[in-house]
A and B are shown apart, each in its own frame.
Chain A
Amino acid sequence: MSDVFQSNIPLWAVSISLLATLGILVSGRKPNLREFWTLLAGLIKFGLVLSLLPSVRAGKIAECVLLQVSPGIGLSLRADEFGVFFALVASGLWIFTSIYSIGYMRSNQELKQTRYFASFAVALSATLGVAFAGNLLTFVIFYEMLTLATYPLVIHKETGEALRAGRQYLAYSLTAGVLLLAGTAWIYNTAGTIEFQPGGILGGVEAAPNAIRCLFFVFVAGVGVKAGIMPLHSWLPNAMVAPTPVSALLHAVAVVKSGVFGVVRVVGFVFGPEVMAEHGLNLILAVLAGATVLFSSLIALQQDSLKRRLAYSTIGHLSYTVMGAALLTPEGLTGGIYHISTHAVMKITLFFCAGAIYVHTHKQNVSELDGIGRAMPWTIGAFTLGSLGLVGIPPINGFFSKWFLCLGSLQAGWPMVLALFILSGLLNAAYLLPVVYRGFFRKSEEFAKFDEAPPLMVVPLCTTAALALVLGLFPNLFFDFFELASGISEMILAS
């Protein structure tokens, strides 16, 4: 077992943006000061998480026990490899999103910006809380807080459509949260503990197979809403009514990735590979994930709204990770976990581009994008990089996660899944590349008078696109993402 040492860094990492929220609320009248708080908090948060990276690579886990309710039940933060991995992705991308948000909000002259930035800060706090949760109860609490914090962001525009989307989001997420709570109580009763352990806590526990299966369904439903597993996914395309930075970070990175993070935690750290295989649970999960990948890609093809198309694409890619968890082989699990980071970087780029296009030209539909590449070459260029990565073309980082997922499916002896991934890649190409084609290779007078989008938006999206490329060439540059992913997978399967 790795060393556990007491440290307050996880607590600080979670709370820093809560403190920033106060600053944001107070400086509502001074936009520059307000934005300063967001950026400052983002940098500090990222720095704190980064400082945990060396210890985690050395096998030491920082722990911070917040409250001890009774033996076995408490609130604790534990920065293990998986937690640090996810936290790096979320906090790092927050910095980009914040810069992008400033550009977006100001160019679009959005109202209620204080509420926006404040909710964002709280949402990131909750996300890090989810990442660093040391047990199920802490996880559920921060998960619920995430739902609450993101609700004002979904309904930001306050139109009828936005309110409906918000209500649906709440209905789905609160129901899921309540199921998770019940599941947590049930697990405590069955296993005597709710701490996350690599290899699961249900191994060797006396429980009826039906009880285990029922428990699994409860948990899949609980985390599956945010993870976009079909048929619990429909809130996600409807939530695209939110401003694009919200869709980018939350619905491509923080919220949905919290969902798949939860799936991997449940599969790897609560149930464990043995229990999963013994009761055929991984098969059930694989079927759900596979169906999601297939149907979401097909539905994406039919969407004209760019953001909805990207939303369905997200749903599909989230299930790449879920499938990786279902495969339960070293390569498969590594690929699935690594896909969390690769997809995040690529998808955020695509969403950033969609937002830039909307703010600049007020175009939302793919059919209206002919010739836009001439006017906004950087934006569409970044879009191209992101798309190629999602399809799985080397050397962009998406290729590697996909490669490992494919290897994993062969290892598991499920060639059907391999075929599915290949098919999905083709479908990705079919719904993403036409945007590139239209942008660069079709002509239209529509965009003759436009030039590139404001730099506050273009710089982040180019950076993330470049990041996708660079991390593809050097997977372990800066953050050891790949090493972390394979380490986590090893940790889960070894026990």
Chain B
Amino acid sequence: MDSIHAHYPYWVVLTLLVIGLWGMLLKGNLMKKVVGMTIFQSAIILFFILSAYKVGGTVPIYDEALGVGDPSLYINPLPHTLMLTAIVVGVAIVGEALALLIVIYRTYGTLEEPVLVERMK
């Protein structure tokens, strides 16, 4: 119990991951797959950000009072910057997915996968 309590953020992340994956792979509506995908990606982003956290650290912007001598006073900025990039990537992917959904809807008139498979034959 202690380890769950101590690492509870990671368990949240794991839950989100599973929810996202479940949505992506097992839901029948294409839009819900996209939603699942977004949740999945968000979970990963959260994971990285969690890894950057240091107990007692502050925002990684130069603070005169703290100086630059002791890195443990600031949380690690690198994962944050990486995740900025990842968020942008995520946005691009969602955008493209939505564009594809528009085309699919225009062509087939549905976003439900079973109906779609039928109409594709």
- A and B touching (Cβ–Cβ under 8 A): no
Instruction: Name A residues whose Cβ lies closer than 8 Å to a Cβ of B.
Output: none
